[in-house]
């Protein structure tokens, strides 16, 4: 796989006009952040050697290189999910390509369901830690020499970046939640009993992505910042049936605040 990763990185280096050190992965309904990237080059996933192709509505399937917050960045407008039938190596393939491209910081976003009864739809949650509930580990198999066989996950989400995001949100009067994200394989939304179980395990939000990407990024020595948009509620009196379309709508509404935080974070970090 390492040879394929290097081939993909070489292809992208030829296509991009910049040398980004920060990357962004945009989740469901959050692809509009790409609209504020300037001086950009857009490459469809289907054109990139060895790259998977996103199949989920709301994920445009484009890699964008340009400027955001005065810095050179690359952004994935759409990610890959385990529930789409991809292996964990395919789900996390872009992160290893990022490492070959010299990425030092990764900003991940997602839409998530709340299992914290104090959260509300549209809240932004800084991810301070995660619980891995996927049935396959992304580092399973022969170790790729980007990092150690047994990488430490004591600080999966960079505390300095989290603290800086708090400051930015306070300056701009943006309300933030903080909590633990639990990643599951999907594609079903959770049952009420599963929501209650995840809450008891210590989770504040649950979704179907992010955790594998973060594990591989940390293995590669890439610093990570994560943020969730709360798009549905699994606990409390406001629990209701949820659809993918409703998740997208809630993410669309919260996206401008998330964009402001990430753009300023990239500028200052």
DSSP for 117-148 reads: TT--TT-EEEEEEEEE--SS-TT-SSPPTTS-
- The residues pairing with 181 across neighbouring beta strands, listed in sequence order, are 130, 205
Average pLDDT on 238-245 reads 58
Per-residue pLDDT, 189: 87
Predicted local distance difference test score (pLDDT) of residue 239: 52
Residue % of the chain over a pLDDT of 90: 74
237: containing domain: 2-268
- pLDDT, mean of residues 219-248: 78
pLDDT digits (tens, 9 = 90+) for 45-94: 999 999 987 665 544 689 999 999 889 999 999 889 999 999 999 999 99
From the number of C-beta atoms within 10 Å of its C-beta (0-12, 13-18, 19+), residue 172 rates as: exposed
Give CA–CA dist 214/223, Å, rounded.
9
d(CA 226, CA 211): 10
Of the candidate ranges 88-92, 149-153, 198-202, 239-243, the one whose mean pLDDT is the lowest: 239-243
112 with 230: CB under 8 angstroms? yes
pTM of the model: 0.92
C-alpha span between 95 and 115 (Å, rounded): 28
Q: How many domains does the chain have?
A: 1
**Domain of residue 10, CATH code:** 3.40.50.1580
Predicted confidence at residue 236, as pLDDT, reads 59
pLDDT at 240: 55
| Overall average pLDDT of the 173-202 stretch | 94
Residue corresponding to tokens 């609209």: 35
């Amino acid at each position: 796989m390492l040879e394929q990763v290097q081939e993909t990185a070489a292809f992208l280096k030829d296509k991009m006009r910049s040398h980004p050190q920060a990357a962004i992965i945009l989740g469901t309904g959050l692809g509009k952040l790409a609209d504020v990237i300037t001086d950009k080059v857009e490459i469809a996933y289907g054109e990139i050697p060895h790259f998977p192709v996103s199949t989920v509505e709301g994920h445009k399937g484009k890699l964008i290189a340009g400027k955001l917050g005065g810095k050179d960045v690359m952004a994935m407008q759409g990610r890959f999910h385990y529930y789409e039938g991809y292996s964990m190596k395919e789900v996390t393939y872009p992160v290893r390509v990022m490492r070959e491209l010299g990425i030092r910081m990764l900003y991940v976003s997602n839409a998530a369901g709340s299992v914290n009864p104090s959260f509300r739809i549209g809240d932004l949650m800084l991810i301070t830690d995660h619980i891995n509930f996927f049935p396959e580990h992304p580092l399973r198999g022969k170790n790729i020499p980007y990092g150690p066989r047994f990488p430490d996950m004591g600080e999966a989400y960079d505390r300095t970046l989290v603290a800086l995001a708090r400051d930015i949100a306070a300056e701009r009067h943006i309300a933030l939640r903080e909590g633990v994200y639990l990643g599951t394989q999907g594609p079903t939304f959770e049952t009420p009993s599963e929501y209650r179980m995840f809450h008891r395990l210590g989770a504040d939000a649950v979704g179907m992505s992010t955790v594998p990407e973060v594990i591989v990024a940390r293995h590669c020595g890439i610093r990570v910042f994560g943020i969730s948009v709360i798009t549905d509620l699994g606990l409390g009196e406001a629990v209701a049936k949820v659809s993918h379309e409703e998740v997208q709508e809630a993410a669309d509404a919260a996206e401008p605040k998330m964009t402001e935080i990430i753009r300023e974070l990239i500028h200052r970090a």
